[in-house]
Amino acid sequence: MPSDVLQPLFEHFRIRARTFFSGNLCTVAGFDQPKGQGDLHLVRGGRGEIRYQGGRPPLQILGPCLLFYPRGLPHYLIPGEPGGLDVVCATIAFGSGIGCQLATALPDVMQLEIQHVGALADLLFHEAFGTLEGRQAIVDRLSEAVLVHFLRQALAQHQTEPGLLAGLVHPQLRNAITAMHAEPARDWTLDDMAASAGLSRSSFAKLFKETTGMTPGEHLARFRVSMTQELLVRGVPLKVAAFEVGYGSPTALSRAFRETIGRSPREWIKDYRAAPVRDPHGEASP
């Protein structure tokens, strides 16, 4: 039984960072990401504040810190005087399906102290403010590592809304959910899922619904469809995707896809590729 509840998610779904600014910020910068994307700010030094719309109190920046906006909450990053802010800004693309579920389950705003990630922050800033070739790729990957720390904090401190992450932090449900994520193509029964959680069928079904807002079968179907979305974006044929996610035929997968998404796989991928908004990697975002 896998003990790492996040690993199966990272194996199946793309959550990517793309750094678009690193340096001294001396003017006001506005952020308003499209659906499916978030903002990551890594402040090396300086003072300033973040202001929001709608009456939300401003957030003071008094020194080095890490800030994460999972759903791209509109905000303004305002450097203080004198000296501005030394900052690295990255876009977080959650992709489709389960990635969006993760973003939805997290708080609007998350904050970590630099010390929380230790030498990782030192290396990231060294690369971001340096001049060596290839630094963009390194900073992007290190930003993704920082993102894992935010997810760890959410799990450890139960900073989650009802849904996927709430199930992953539950001491019994996490075992069943992690098992399903690790073997999505398995012919799961309710008895199998309940056994993974160490519960009876009725207790498991009731607890799962109360914690995640869906039945175990609904969650598994959504997870499989989310995997299918990722595979289609990568160019995997529907016939191969059906085998990988546990459906006996493309027809059966298409039926489940339409029931979950409201469109056929062909319609969904066509709309996805035609969407005008694109993520930092040049791929269309729904």
Mean pLDDT of 115-129: 93
The pLDDT value recorded for residue 195 is: 95
Domains 7-156 and 170-274 share a fold: no
Pick the CATH number of 170-274 from 2.40.50.140, 3.30.70.360, 3.40.190.10, 1.10.10.60: 1.10.10.60
The pLDDT value recorded for residue 97 is: 63
Position 197 confidence tier, pLDDT thresholds 50, 70, 90:
very high
Position 284 confidence tier, pLDDT thresholds 50, 70, 90:
very low
Question: Model's pTM, two decimal places?
Answer: 0.73
Position 275 confidence tier, pLDDT thresholds 50, 70, 90:
low
Per residue in 230-248, pLDDT (tens digit) is: 889 889 999 999 999 999 8
The pLDDT value recorded for residue 213 is: 86
Assess whether pLDDT exceeds 60 at residue 281. no
Per-residue HEC secondary structure of the chain comes to CCCCCCHHHHHHCCCEEEEEEEEEECCCEEECCCCCEEEEEEEEEECEEEEECCCCCCEEECCCEEEEECCCCCEEEEECCCCCEEEEEEEEECCCCHHHHHHHHCCCCEEECHHHCCHHHHHHHHHHCCCCCCHHHHHHHHHHHHHHHHHHHHHHCCCCCCCHHHHHHCCCHHHHHHHHHHCCCCCCCHHHHHHHHCCCHHHHHHHHHHHHCCCHHHHHHHHHHHHHHHHHHCCCCHHHHHHHHCCCCHHHHHHHHHHHHCCCHHHHHHHHHHCCCECCCCCECC
The pLDDT value recorded for residue 283 is: 36
Quote the mean pLDDT of the chain: 86
The pLDDT value recorded for residue 204 is: 95
Pick the CATH number of 7-156 from 3.40.50, 2.60.40, 2.60.120, 1.50.10: 2.60.120
Q: Residue ranges per domain, the chain?
A: 7-156, 170-274
